[in-house]
């Protein structure tokens, strides 16, 4: 398989960027199909609003505040309250434009596409034009305890298929390969933007975890800070390197491959395993055999292999609770990639797939112990999860 | 109001401890009502099982494993999979025993009670008799990366009222005062147990966050480790003390009282405010004016005041989305108390109330950004939350 992917850029009515990633001849965008004009009367994304804390300070775009109790930045995306909620299928904003129409009425102006990426219309993170991400912020209520800054960065949507009812698990490897290409390319470009600390490609799948649009899609976040989980992992990895001289993530992968107990899938370049201290009702990690920091660092063979391994893993997850696939698993699948700045050398690419489903119709809720204390209690064991996924091997 | 609370201890059929906290003459337990015999054929809580990782190691009670990527202990409560799920009201295990019955069929053998605390039948944390919490653990698969230890500690249930349909918000201050007394007494006793690092009193309220029993009740966890959120807060508090010589939590309270913008309730001894960097759709903190480490350190006047202030705050929360109270708020209310060991001097008591409800019937889900990266994005602003709670002042 070779990666003959053509990337074509365009813009939507409100100036948002959109990128087609086409893998099939004749390339869809600008080729066989027509790109319609986006004439939707979309509101100005960068209108100046007044800070909500009573100071009347002018604010352009979303803000984030530092939580003094945890040191974490909290973006405040109050404008997202109005976002689209489960529209009927014929009004899906992620479907291609209707052939024969004069103007686009969804987010994608082309009448067909293979894979498409565009800026989220309701972003939690956005960099207004002219923003200097390094400029000093303001103080909420003038208090030094409460720094606030523009919530710069970027939130993108990636549509995995033009087909409304498709799923990542069932796409042909060729198309998954294009998705990998798009993830890698967007990671590379976003990591180069000023003020970006970390790029996160992920998929939320299933209504049970609040997905508002059933069309198969994922998201790409370019964070202006290192996220709390990554921060913790980097601290552990730094400690491990200081003590052993080795990479923590590599050592974990080696130990899982040695133990074999929880390995659920192995290919030439990738291994999937349920981690020895898995915390979710269903959790699997997928890691490359070679030490690579992020998706752009994968070579062609590793990408080809991933395009076969990833859907195979997801298909097994969809049969986790019912052999016939009648209980598709709601899941979060997120790529942990090396950060852009300090600590980059400690990172190692891996995908974490987790689910809050404990059984058909039974969710794990994040209540007092989890939400209040950040402590996780597993209702199962990693070995049970692994045994089930091993049983489902083709 | 004086605290005339009588505590009476008993045991259930499987040896679990139960404590009545009675405030009304004639004291309910052992007084006006009869305590029935608990003859339920409950299974042995401390049966030896075989470790699930294939090593065949004998394990008594739940285990916890260290997650090498985060340094967090993950208790594995696989046995909880079978726990009671929303039984019909006439089979509520938290209601008092039926008058006239010969044996108890619920968890409470008395035919009436004011407040009762007992060990959870399906605990995530439990200390089997003869366990040495300081004994070295084992290694999963023999790998040094994966230490495992008994998940020692304690999980208790606290029933706020004998009345199945009551709620903490609507109880008279006298009864709330008894609940405060029970929280303080259980915190004091559990903190003195060997191996306990932290005591957490909390209430999960509402089916939307997975509460399986509607009877008004809370929980008390005695953790064998410092929880991740507490760990992060202590690190921040230590840094703040090193820099300023002051207590971080005190400084936050003072700043909120100075700003006033987000203060929603103030009494002689307590202030409730929406924190300046609130991350949940609804979030309020309630802190005492005097520096106290935990509930046992509150004096009588502070406890009396709390017994009036807490239900008032909860009543307002129940009207947050509808003035008429028709959309009672699902919430988590958790007491952050000073830890038992190192870092105790940095702690300061406060209650955190949070809700995942963004609007009637609209939940905030913890998807990729939260579950995968531990990053929180608020869909509102702290000032909006505060303005609504201020509007609801009586």
- Closest residue of A to B67, CA-based? A277
Whole-number pLDDT of residue A167: 95
Of B72, B202, B379, the CB nearest to A80: B379
A106 pLDDT exceeds 70? Answer: yes
Q: A145 vs B229: CB contact, 8 Å cut-off?
A: no
Chain B hits for A240, Cβ within 8 Å? 68
Whole-number pLDDT of residue A37: 78
Q: What is the pTM of this model?
A: 0.94
- Of residues B131 and A307, more confidence is placed in A307
Chain B hits for A66, Cβ within 8 Å? 277
Whole-number pLDDT of residue B314: 97
**Of these residues, B79, B215, B217, B350, which one is catalytic?**
B217
Min distance B55 CA to chain A CA atoms (Å): 10
A2: pLDDT confidence band, cut at 50, 70 and 90?
A: low
Whole-number pLDDT of residue A166: 95
Question: Each residue of B263-290: pLDDT tens digit?
Answer: 999 999 999 999 999 999 999 999 999 9
Whole-number pLDDT of residue B85: 44
Domain B6-225 = CATH 3.30.70.980? no
Whole-number pLDDT of residue A79: 60
Architecture of domain B229-391: 2-Layer Sandwich (3.30)
Whole-number pLDDT of residue B22: 92
Average pLDDT in the A228-250 region?
98
Average pLDDT in the B54-80 region?
80
Question: Each residue of A288-305: pLDDT tens digit?
Answer: 999 999 999 999 999 999
Q: A74 vs B277: CB contact, 8 Å cut-off?
A: yes
- Closest residue of A to B142, CA-based? A259
Average pLDDT in the A169-185 region?
97
A83 pLDDT exceeds 60? Answer: no
Q: Residue B64's Cα: distance from chain center in Å?
A: 20
Whole-number pLDDT of residue A262: 98
The CATH 3.30.428.10 domain(s) of chain A lie at 6-225, 229-391
Q: How many CB atoms lie within 10 A of CB A1?
A: 13
B2: pLDDT confidence band, cut at 50, 70 and 90?
A: low
Of B334, B372, B380, the CB nearest to A372: B334
B217 as an active site residue: the answer is yes
Name the percent of chain B lying above pLDDT 70. Answer: 90
- Of residues A339 and A33, more confidence is placed in A339
Average pLDDT in the A370-383 region?
94
SS (H, E, C) chain A: CCCCCEEEEEECCCCCEEEEEECCCCCHHHHHCCECECCCCCCCCCCEEECCCCCCCEEECCEEEEECCCCEEEEECHHHHHCCCCCCHHHCCCCECCCCCCECCCCECECCCCEEEEECCCCCCCCCCCCCCCCCCEEHHHCCCCEEEECCCEEEEEECCCCCCCCHHHCCHHHHHHHHHHHHHHHHHHHCCCCCCEEEEEEEECHHHCCCCCCCEEEEEEECCCCHHHHHHHHHHHHHHHHHCCCHHHHHHHHHHHHCCCEEEECCCEEEECCCCCCCCEEEEEEECCCCCCHHHCCHHHHHHHHHHHHHHHHHHHCCCCCCCCCCCCEEEEEECCCCCCCHHHCCCEEEEEECEEECCEECCCCHHHHHHCCCCECCCHHHHHHHHHHCCC
Whole-number pLDDT of residue A86: 47
- Of residues B15 and B47, more confidence is placed in B15
A54 pLDDT exceeds 70? Answer: no
Degrees to nearest 5, angle at CA A67 with B363 and A151: 75
B197 pLDDT exceeds 50? Answer: yes
**ipTM of the complex as predicted:** 0.93
B46: pLDDT confidence band, cut at 50, 70 and 90?
A: confident
Whole-number pLDDT of residue B30: 53
Average pLDDT in the A344-365 region?
93
């Amino acid at each position: 398989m070779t990666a003959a992917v053509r990337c074509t850029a365009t813009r939507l009515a409100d100036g948002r960027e959109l990128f087609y990633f086409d893998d099939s001849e004749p390339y869809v965008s600008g080729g066989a199909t027509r790109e319609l004009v986006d004439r939707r009367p979309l509101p100005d994304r960068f209108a100046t609003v007044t800070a909500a804390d009573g100071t009347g300070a002018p604010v352009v775009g979303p803000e984030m505040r530092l939580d003094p109790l945890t040191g974490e930045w909290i973006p405040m995306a109050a404008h997202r309250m109005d976002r689209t909620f489960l529209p009927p299928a014929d009004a899906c904003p992620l479907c291609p434009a209707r052939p024969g129409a004069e103007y686009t009425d969804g987010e994608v102006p082309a009448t067909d596409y293979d894979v498409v990426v565009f800026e989220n219309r309701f972003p939690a993170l956005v960099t207004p034009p002219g923003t200097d991400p390094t400029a000093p912020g303001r103080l909420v209520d003038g208090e030094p305890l409460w720094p606030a800054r523009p919530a710069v960065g970027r939130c993108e949507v990636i549509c995995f298929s033009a087909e409304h009812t498709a799923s990542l698990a069932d796409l042909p490897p060729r198309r998954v390969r294009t998705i990998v290409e798009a993830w890698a390319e967007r990671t590379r470009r976003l990591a180069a933007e000023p003020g970006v600390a970390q790029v996160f490609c992920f998929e939320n799948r299933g209504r049970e975890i609040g997905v508002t649009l059933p069309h198969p899609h994922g998201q790409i976040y370019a964070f202006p800070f290192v996220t709390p989980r990554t921060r913790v992992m980097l601290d552990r990895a730094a400690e491990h390197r200081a003590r052993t001289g080795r990479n923590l993530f590599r050592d974990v992968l080696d130990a899982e491959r040695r133990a074999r107990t929880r390995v659920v899938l192995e290919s030439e370049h990738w291994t999937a395993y349920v981690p020895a201290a898995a915390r979710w009702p269903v959790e699997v990690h997928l890691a490359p055999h070679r030490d690579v920091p992020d998706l752009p660092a994968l070579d062609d063979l590793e990408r080809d292999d991933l395009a076969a391994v990833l859907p195979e893993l997801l298909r097994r997850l969809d049969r986790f609770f019912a052999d016939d696939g009648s209980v598709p698993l709601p899941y979060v699948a997120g790529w942990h990639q090396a950060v852009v700045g300090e600590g980059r050398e400690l990172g190692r690419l891996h995908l974490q797939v987790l689910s809050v489903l404990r059984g058909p119709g039974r969710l794990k809720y994040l209540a007092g112990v989890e939400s209040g204390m950040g402590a996780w209690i597993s209702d199962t064991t990693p070995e049970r999860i692994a045994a089930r996924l091993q049983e489902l091997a083709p």
